[in-house]
A and B are shown apart, each in its own frame.
Chain A
Amino acid sequence: MNRILSTIVISLCLALSACEDTKNYNTAVYLLLDTSGTYTKELRKAQLIIKFMLSTLKAGDSFAVARIDSGSFSEKDIIAKATFDARPSTSNRQKRDFAAAVDKFIRGVKSSRYTDISGGLLQGREYLNETKAGSKYILIYSDLKEELPAGYKRDFDIPLDGYTVLALNVTKLRSDNIDPVEYLQRVESWEQKVTEGGGKWYIVNDIEKDGALDLANY
C-alpha cells in the first residue's frame, strides 16, 4: 500500500513539474530615438510613447531606449534600460527611475550630425536577443533618413526573424514634399530590409489613435 501511495505521489510531483510552462510570455521593447538635425524637436512626443510603454509593460518585460546618432551600434547609446521586476513595488520604482532618466536625457539632448539607423537596429537586435523574451519589438522613432559617416559599413542584411519593427512618426522632409517618391522609396527600402531579414514591418504615424501603440495589435 505504501509503495502504491509513494508511486502516486511521485507521479503527481513529476506531472506538476512537467506542467511548468517553458514558453516565454515576456515582451521586450527597444525604442530608437532619432536625435539628428531638426528631428530633436519631435522628442517631446517620444516621451509620451515612452510613458505609455512604461504604463503598459508588465513584470518580467524588458524595455530599453537608445538614441540614433552618428554611430548607433554601441551600448553607450542606450539611454535607459530595465527588465521589470516581478514585485510591483520594485517594478514601479524602476519605472519611475526610467522615466526620470529619459526626461533628463531629452532635456539635455544635442542633435547629432549623422543618422545611423541600421546600427541602432543591429544594437537593438543584440539587446533583445539577450532578454530571451517571447515577443520582441523594435520601435524606430525617426524620419528614416539614414546618413552614415564616411567609412561606416551598413550594407548587409540584418537577420530579424521573430522581430517586429514599428516605424513611428515617420515625418516627411522638405525634399519629400518636393518629390514624394523619395519618401515612398525610403519607406519601401526599410520595409524590404526588415522583411528580407525575416521580420515584420509596420508604420504608425498617428500615435494618438486608439490602439496605435498597443503592441498586441502587431
Chain B
Amino acid sequence: MDGAAIGSWIMSQPLLIQILMPVGAVVLLYLGRATVHSLFDAIFLGLYRSLRIASASVAIGEKQLQVRNRAVLLEQGRDQAEREIEREFRRVHHIVDQDLSGYPKLQRTIMEQISSIEEDYKLSESVPPPGPDWIQAIEAVAKLTKKTNGETIGGRVLEEIHKASQKHHAEILEAYREQVRERHHRLDNIKTYWRKLTNTVDEVGTVIQSLLDRTRDIDKRMVTYEEIVAGSDKAERSLRSSSITQFLISFIVVSIAVGGAFINFHLIALPMSETVSGAGRIAGMAVSDFAGMFVILLEATFGLMLMESLRITRLFPAIAALDSKTLSRMVWIFFIFLLAFAFVEAALAFMRDQIAADNASLRQSLSGVAAADEENTINSWIPMAGQMIMGFILPFALAFVAIPFESLLQSGRTVIGHLLGILLRALSTLLRMLAVISRQLGRVLKNIYDLLVTPLLWPERLIANFRGTKSGTYKYAQAD
C-alpha cells in the first residue's frame, strides 16, 4: 500500500482521525516546547525588565522632583522670612526715627520739670514763727497787768504795751498763716509738674516696651530664618504645612473672586451685545460675550498692575525694580484706568436695565398681556441703582484679587509639586506591580503549555529523574 492509499484509508476512518489529531498536536507541541518557552521568556521577561526600568526611571524622577520641591520651598520660605524681617526692621527704624529722635528735647523737658519742682520746693520752705523770748515778755507783762489791777500809771502803760503786743502777735500770726498758705499753694503746683513728668516717663516707657517687643519678634523670626537657611527638616515641614494652608485659603478666596467675576460678566453681557454688535463667534462664544469677558480680565489685569505698583504684590520683578517716582505715576495711571472702567460698568448696568425693560415690554406685547400697574410693582429705580452701584464697585473688588492670586501661585507651586511627587511615586509602584504581574504571567503560560504536553513530558521527566538518580544529578529542571 502506498502512502496515498494509506492516507485515503485514514481519512475514511473518522474515529481514527479523532484519536490521531490530538496525539499529533501533543507531539507537535512537545517538539516545539523549547521554542515556545523561549518565546514566552522573550516577551514576558522583556516586558518585566522594561517595566522595571520604567519604574526605576520614574522613581529617580520622583526623587529629583522632591529635591527640587524642597529647594523651591526653602527658597520661597527664605524670601518670605527676609521680607518679614525687613518689615520689622523698618518698623523699628520708624519708631526710633520718629519717637526717639526727639530724645534730647525730651531730656530737656524732664530737666526743666525737675528744676521747676526744685524751685517750687525751695520756695515752699517754712518761715520760722516769732522767737519764744518775745512771747515770754508778753506773758510777763500780762501777769504784771493783772497784779496792779490797772490802777497805777505803770500798770496802764503795761496794759497798753500788752495790747500792742497782742496786736503785733496777731499780725505776726496772720503773716505766718499767709506764708503757710503760699507754701501749700506752691506745693500744690508741684503736683502738676510731677504729673507731667510721670506722663513723659510713661511715654518713653511705652516706646521702649514696643521696641523690646519688636526685638523679641525679630529674634524669633531670625531663629526661623536660620533654620530655613540651614535647610532643617523642621523648617521644611513647617513651610510645607503653611504653604498648603495658604494654598487652600487662597484657593477659596480666588474662587469667591471668580464667582464675583461671573456675576460681573452677567451684569455686562447683555449691554455689551448692544455696544459690541456683531453676529460672529469666537470659539463658539458670541463676540459680545467674549468682549464682556475681556473687559473683566482687563480690569483684573489693571488691578494686578495697581497692586504691583503699590508694592503690595511682587509678581513682576521688573515693576518692583522701578524707582518710586515712576511707580507713583503708574499707581495714578492704573487707578484712573480702573476708575474709568468702573464708570463704564456702571453705565453698562444702567443700559442693562433699559434693555431688560425693553425685552419685558416686547414679551408683554407679543403675549398680549397688558402692562402691569406701576403702583403695584417694585420701584424700578431700586434694582437699577443697585446694579449701577454693583457695576461701579466690582472692578475695584476684582483689583484686590491680585493678593490672593499671588499667594495661590506661590503656594500652588509647592502643593502641585508635592502632589506630582505623590503621583510619580504611585506610578513607580504601579509599574513595578505590572512588571511582577508580567513575569508571573509568563510563568503561568509556560505551565499551561507544559500541561498540554504532559503525556510526553511526564515520561521524559521520569527518565530524567531515573538517570539523575543513577548519576546523582538532575538533567532536566523542574517546571518553574
Contact = CB atoms under 8 A, between A and B. Distances in A.
Q: Do A and B originate from a single complex?
A: yes
A43 to B, nearest CB: 16
A162 interface: no
A21 interface: yes
Given A85-B277, A88-B355, A21 B283 contact: yes
A137 to B, nearest CB: 18
A89 B274 contact: yes
Interface in A1-53: 16, 19-21, 23, 25-26, 51
Contact of B362 (A19, A26, A90, A92): A92
A19 B358 contact: no
A154 interface: no
A96 B274 contact: no
Given A55-B366, A86-B273, A99-B365, A26 B355 contact: no
A95 B274 contact: no
A54 B279 contact: no
Nearest to B354: A89
A88 B358 contact: yes
A53 B361 CA distance: 16
A88 B274 contact: yes
A86 B278 contact: yes
Contacts of A86: 273, 277-279, 288
Given A20-B282, A21-B282, A51 B273 contact: no
A23 B280 CA distance: 10
A182 B359 CA distance: 45
B279 A89 contact: no
Interface in B276-309: 277-285, 288
A95 B362 contact: yes
B279 A60 contact: yes
B136 interface: no
Nearest to A83: B279
Given A55-B366, A96-B362, A20 B273 contact: no
Contacts of A20: 280-283
Contact of A54 (B274, B278, B285, B366): B366
10 contacts: A19-B282, A21-B284, A23-B284, A25-B281, A88-B270, A88-B358, A88-B359, A89-B274, A90-B277, A95-B362
